[in-house]
Amino acid sequence: MATTSLNASKLLFSGTASRRGRHISITPANSEMAHLHYGRIILGSEERRAAFATEGRETALLCMRGACSVTVDGKRHDIGLYDAIYVPRGSAVVVETTGEVDLVECAAEVSGDYPLQVIRYAELSQDPKLRFRAGGESTTRDLNIVIGDNVRAGRILAGFTKSQQGNWTSWPPHEHAKMLEEMAIIRFNAAAGRYSQAIAAMRDTSNLVTAPSRPIERSKQPAVAQ
């Protein structure tokens, strides 16, 4: 059976949460991704504000720590812990905080237009289709689908998984590359013996109407280590 040589520099990206401000770490230009972009917006006392344009990309911002306001085309939206906001392509965005905030940013080029949507974790956590527990002994984890069927979007999906103390989040080893394009952002709390992952992915291209592309059948899934 033929094997493919993989370039680690296009699969593993470390230290993506080490800088303040807004920084894009993964794009199709520097990774095995065909569509997905990943970045981080980390603000605090040293830097309170970040501004950018989504251009041709739909963009999701998922709050993994703290709180902030996200102003899109002049309209402000307050975002709390584990909340998210879906921002359409062609938007001007300003993120501000009076405390601190850590946002995961994922984006993809689209040709369709979808409305701005704010996703409240307090609401989605009550939906058993969006927040549920999986795994067994030593692999128990809580899955949270933040940007999924609950959001009108062209390509992107996003969510996060938290392991129980001392448990694995992805056992048995697996990936979803034949179903969708995906990257995993991994955090490890050594003191608590706990993993957490934020997942950015693309919707199955066979279901796309407004932004068709070739089917994604890849065996390479980038991982982001903080």
Domain contains 3: no
| CATH code for the domain in which residue 79 is found | 2.60.120.10
Strand pairing of 141-147 and 156-163?
Answer: antiparallel
Q: What is the pLDDT of residue 4?
A: 59
Token pair 């609401």 is found at 123
What is residue 210's predicted lDDT score, i.e. its pLDDT?
A: 22
Question: What integer pLDDT is reported at residue 18 of this predicted model?
Answer: 83
**Lookup: tokens for 167:** 């448990």
Burial status of residue 62 (CB atoms within 10 A of its CB: 0-12, 13-18, 19 or more):
buried
Tokens of 190: 């050594």
- Do 73 and 137 meet the contact criterion of CB atoms below 8 Å apart? no
Residues of the chain with pLDDT under 50: 1, 192-196, 202-222, 224-225
Query: Which residue segment(s) compose the domain that 161 sits in?
Result: 12-225
Is residue 130 one of the residues assigned to a domain?
A: yes
Asked if the structure places residue 87 within a domain, the reply is yes
Instruction: Tell me how many domains the chain contains.
Output: 1
Residue 7 lies in a domain: no
Judge whether 48 lies within some domain: yes
The verdict on residue 105 lying in a domain is: yes
- Give the pLDDT of residue 135: 75
Q: Whole-prediction pTM value?
A: 0.80
Task: Supply 147's token pair.
Answer: 């940007």
Beta strands in the chain (DSSP E): 12-14, 21-26, 37-43, 49-53, 57-66, 68-72, 75-79, 84-87, 92-96, 101-109, 117-119, 131-134, 141-147, 156-163, 182-189, 194-202, 223-225
Residue 167 within any structural domain of the chain: yes
| Domain assignment of residue 199, yes or no | yes
